[in-house]
Chain A
Amino acid sequence: MRRPVLLLAAFAVTALLVHLGAIVAAPRVIMALAIGKLGQGGAAVNRFQFSRRTNAQSRDVVRPSPDLAYASCVYDLEKGPLLVEAAPTPGGGYASVSVFAGNTDNIGVFDTIANPQGVRFALVRAGEPFPDKAVRLQLPLVVSPSRKGVILDRRLAPTQAAFDLADKARRADRCAPL
């Protein structure tokens, strides 16, 4: 009688631990897959890639918005901090640049409403000294807890004409060593 109860309890505890492990691990695993896909397996790191207009066939990331123009930069801070820049869309359409750490956390976000002249900031890894250049240029700093992550530029583009405007503006985006 006692042995089946113990076996059942052991099974329940194991199942719970596996469940909790999966919950904790899932964001990092899924983010790593996204980093691999958006960064073209490491071939496109520390530079922006420009997505085509979102349509029914868009499958890079779940639940894409068809009303936004996306540009993404997979970052790797192994060789030091990055300077990130994005110009506004002519006409004042909403644009934001957001930074996502390896655990999916949105660790920084800037938009062209608060920064109508464009977005400009430095990205540095946690534990690393703040770069002199960033301090000298008075750049806002985003501190990443992970070496790798994703920077995403979103621009309002609900029509083809709006997408064309946003696309032209985002081509000036920069994500490169400081």
Chain B
Amino acid sequence: MKHGTSGEVHAHWAGNRLTGRVGADPWTRAQVALTGLLALNPSQAIYFRRQVDDSGARLRENCRYRIAGGALPGRWWSVTVYAADDYLPLNHDDALSFDATEVQRNGAGRWSATVAPDRPAQGAWASTRNAGDFDLTLRIYNPTPQAQADFGAIAFPTVERIGCNKTPRA
């Protein structure tokens, strides 16, 4: 996203309004080919990626994070963990992501989920076991026209570091 002329970052989430579009510039095309081949254009889905928590520290397997947010501007959304090689982390936890159908919302419509190497006592969870230094991808499907046009208007989820072990798991 750094090179694309329409790449932008909001609340540590990086996205590009030209992803998948016919008018994408060569840098955006190259970026998409390398890290998001066959990505949909923004009328169907918008994609955001982050590698750091809210304090700006790198997302790491040996830490636990609380992801929290409210309503997102689309019909459905998901948050997925990817390892540094741009593939899903090699684990058997069957918890590679969490989505809009899994999170529990409170009366105000707020939700939270855990991103960590171990399953939390309750709530939605995405496992980072064997993820190393990882990133999170937020996909919003059938985004509203306003969200497509103005990423800055999206109330992005926060990523708060709860704590870390001293060394990654073996």
**Which A residues lie at the B interface, using CB under 8 A?**
20, 22-24, 26-27, 30-31, 34, 54-59, 61-67, 94, 96, 98, 100, 103-107, 109, 111, 113, 150, 152, 154, 156, 158
Contact = CB atoms under 8 A, between A and B. Distances in A.
A59 B118 CA distance: 24
Given A63-B86, A64-B88, A105-B21, 9 more contacts: A20-B26, A22-B30, A55-B94, A56-B89, A58-B88, A63-B35, A63-B87, A105-B24, A156-B141
Interface of B, helix, strand, loop or mixed by DSSP: loop
Nearest to B82: A63
Nearest to B32: A104
A7 B29 CA distance: 32
A23 B26 contact: yes
A106 B88 contact: no
A157 B142 CA distance: 16
Which of B27, B30, B37, B86 has the largest number of chain A CB atoms within 10 A? B37
A26 B101 contact: no
Contacts of A23: 26-27, 30
A59 B97 CA distance: 17
B137 interface: yes
A150 B40 CA distance: 12
Which of A55, A66, A100, A154 has the largest number of chain B CB atoms within 10 A? A66
Interface stretch (B63-71, B72-80, B149-157, B161-169): B72-80
A178 B139 CA distance: 34
A54 B88 contact: yes
A27 B44 CA distance: 21
Interface residues of B, number: 42
A34 B30 contact: no
A30 B37 contact: yes
Contacts of A54: 88, 96
22 contacts: A23-B26, A24-B30, A26-B30, A30-B33, A30-B34, A31-B37, A54-B88, A54-B96, A58-B87, A58-B88, A59-B87, A61-B37, A63-B82, A64-B87, A66-B97, A67-B78, A67-B80, A98-B38, A105-B24, A109-B44, A113-B142, A158-B99
B44 A63 contact: no
Contact of B88 (A24, A34, A55, A103): A55
Contacts of A109: 40-41, 43-44
A23 B30 CA distance: 6
A34 B36 CA distance: 12
Contact of B40 (A30, A34, A96, A103): A96
B22 interface: yes
Given A63-B36, A94-B142, A158 B102 contact: yes
Nearest to A59: B87
A92 B51 CA distance: 34
B41 to A, nearest CB: 4
